Chain A
């Protein structure tokens, strides 16, 4: 399971991830998925290590997924949440991180509503030579690498369950529809999917999909790869052309406050123009699968019958893949300590 090619202490963004990195993660996640299918679902890989969930932004699903992944690896878990923290007493984010460092934390899983917080903490941890690894569990609108990696694992597993690998993605059409502007999930997925060779089609009204997206993500990431092996990125302000012959359709959560920000007139119009329905999926490939990072507004981004259709929906598989993928990430950066 150990991979000698892995050299990252932190996972903050996927901007500079290489195809080797993705392949290593898929292989490691596949091994842990096998562990999770056993009667005894626990391995001693990180026994004695302390993993701290520093969730400055409230989260239930992602935090639970990381907590279970850490427990399956036999690590000791500390959970921090802002509601019962000393942040309200004037403590800075670096003070909080250093407090958990002093308790012997080896890995920090960090979520914050502001972009850049995991970056700042990782810089400080490196500056003081702490040896602590940082895993970004979502920072503002910037990045959510573990979600994109579990999405990658889900997509590849749906194409070949026994040997999920990135070569399966070559030429596949993945549509991401919804509030792309505010989505850290979309940003991380664009890096991972295009680097692994898929064509990514973004769909939203122009207010939620500024044209700068193409410029921001169309340059090859710092992977040393040539252009030819990368997938392409496309922007659509209408749903129908994007869905044609799609292999995967990923819908994103729409926050209700977008209406008060004048970004959308109404949920009704959004569903009418951009909601995924069974009828609209007819334009996709017959084998199309739908995904959603959750939590879903049923009847807005996706109709309920699609969510619950086991032939179409990969949503339950995304959640299951999440634990194996996060075990892989904790294991890989845990091995760098």
Chain B
């Protein structure tokens, strides 16, 4: 089926295009872009794009899938629905499934599950066997199987292993993503006045900044590029800003919920806001937004992580960390930053599509003639209520439950993976 999208706002962060026009997609390739097209033929599906945005499909840097191992949380089919609803054409998932993505066979199995014209799931390959942080995987072999890069999704506690990892993978161009976090420091709420007021145990800022500093020193020694994931404090933003100014080869990401919430939002003790790392203080939140805007932080990640009702129907302090996000990140970030004109639509698309692709060293999708159509048609004005039915899942693992939000993906065109 060919598509003719009429009078749509075309956004392309790669070429900085932002214009109203028509787009024609034939056989999965963008064949024409113009102010207005005159297209005829029986095999053309016409889309009225007025009020909508047509832009490259979004790329999620890291999310978690329940399948295999925890299908009661979320199946791959449900994750697929979530990604499609949210405008994500490519989702890179963390390897901490059961079994973990730590061997070529596991990688092949995951890649062959992808279907044409549906969001593509790409695996991070595990750094350590079983993502247990004890022994390195066969990194070179694993790196040749189609993984996007190496990441455990867990902090690496062993500093010698970090050093060896960065040295050993210097010959590989695949990215390495690391989460700076000291698991020995306990606490469920970022240290500050809110943690004290709410009676939640405090997690010091140094639980992130101390391992980040050590990691930056290792990177300065090896000069091996690293992506720093789940950055959540103001001080970390400062450290990364200095590191980039020194020319260290780092990129960094923040999750969408850390941009939208802070410890000041924990008054209701909503277990959906129990995250790892925990939400920052209001000062952290401001610094994360500023860091994204000044380029210190490169991209926004979703870090989608669904738990069962039973797992989350517990007090805040003992709830497992994580929340759903793939369906919600785009509409809520648009609503919060684009609608009040703090960000341009191109800016948001840069953070959610172009930069994540660049952090992953994969070819960014673009709205250009004769390129594969990897596109999303998004209506930022379409209102809907967040329920299990509208999300198409069994549980509602989000602070936005039962709220009406604006912004819906109308259609997506997905090209084959080419990384």
Contacts and interface: CB of A to CB of B under 8 A. Distances in A.
Q: Is B a genuine binding partner of A?
A: yes
Interface of A: 15, 90, 92-94, 112, 114-117, 119-120, 123, 139-143, 181, 184, 187, 210, 212-213, 215-217
A213 B196 contact: yes
A207 B313 CA distance: 32
Interface in B152-210: 191-202
Given A119-B268, A119-B269, A216-B193, A93 B314 contact: yes
Contacts of A94: 313
Given A94-B313, A116-B315, A140-B317, A210 B199 contact: no
A141 B315 contact: no
Chain B CB count within 10 A is highest, among A115, A210, A212, for A115
Q: 10 smallest A-B Cβ distances: which pairs?
A: A116-B269, A142-B199, A114-B315, A141-B199, A216-B193, A215-B193, A115-B199, A216-B196, A216-B197, A92-B313
A181 B202 CA distance: 10
B119 to A, nearest CB: 33
6 contacts: A93-B313, A119-B267, A119-B268, A187-B197, A212-B195, A215-B192
B316 interface: yes
A116 B196 contact: no
Given A142-B199, A216-B197, 18 more contacts: A92-B310, A93-B314, A94-B313, A115-B269, A115-B316, A116-B268, A117-B315, A119-B268, A123-B268, A139-B199, A140-B199, A140-B317, A141-B201, A143-B199, A187-B197, A212-B191, A212-B192, A212-B195
A139 B269 CA distance: 12
Interface of B: 191-202, 267-269, 310, 313-318
A215 B197 CA distance: 9
A217 B196 CA distance: 9
Given A119-B268, A120-B269, A217 B316 contact: no
A120 B316 CA distance: 9
Contacts of B199: 115, 139-143, 184, 187
A90 B194 CA distance: 31
A115 B194 CA distance: 13
A210 B313 contact: no
B315 A93 contact: yes
Nearest to A217: B197
Nearest to B192: A212
Contacts of A213: 196
B117 to A, nearest CB: 40
A141 to B, nearest CB: 4
B310 A210 contact: no
B273 to A, nearest CB: 11
Contacts of B317: 114-116, 140
Contacts of B196: 181, 210, 212-213, 215-217
A286 B201 CA distance: 38
A141 B316 CA distance: 13
A116 B194 contact: no
A213 B313 CA distance: 30
A14 to B, nearest CB: 12
Contact of A142 (B192, B198, B310): B198
A86 to B, nearest CB: 14
B315 A120 contact: yes
B152 to A, nearest CB: 28
A108 B89 CA distance: 49
Contacts of A93: 313-315
A313 B270 CA distance: 41
Chain A CB count within 10 A is highest, among B199, B200, B268, B315, for B199
Given A210-B202, A212-B192, A90 B310 contact: yes
B316 A116 contact: yes
Given A90-B310, A94-B313, A123-B268, A115 B193 contact: no
Contacts of A115: 198-200, 269, 315-317
Nearest to B402: A127
Contacts of A112: 315
A90 B193 CA distance: 34
Nearest to B309: A92
Nearest to A143: B199
Nearest to A120: B269
Chain B CB count within 10 A is highest, among A93, A94, A119, for A119
A143 B269 CA distance: 13
A278 to B, nearest CB: 32
A116 B318 CA distance: 11
Contacts of B197: 15, 187, 216-217
Nearest to A210: B196
Nearest to A188: B199
B272 to A, nearest CB: 12
Contacts of B269: 115-117, 119-120
Chain A CB count within 10 A is highest, among B202, B269, B310, for B269
A37 to B, nearest CB: 36
A187 B199 CA distance: 8
B141 to A, nearest CB: 43
B369 to A, nearest CB: 53
A181 B314 CA distance: 24
Contacts of B316: 114-116, 120
A116 B188 CA distance: 13
Contacts of B314: 92-93
Contacts of B192: 212, 215
A30 B313 CA distance: 40
Contacts of A140: 199-200, 317
A94 B194 CA distance: 25
A92 B313 CA distance: 6
A117 B315 CA distance: 6
Nearest to A215: B193
Contacts of B315: 93, 112, 114-117, 120
A94 B309 CA distance: 12
A94 B310 CA distance: 11
A93 to B, nearest CB: 7
B113 to A, nearest CB: 32
Contacts of B313: 92-94
B313 to A, nearest CB: 4
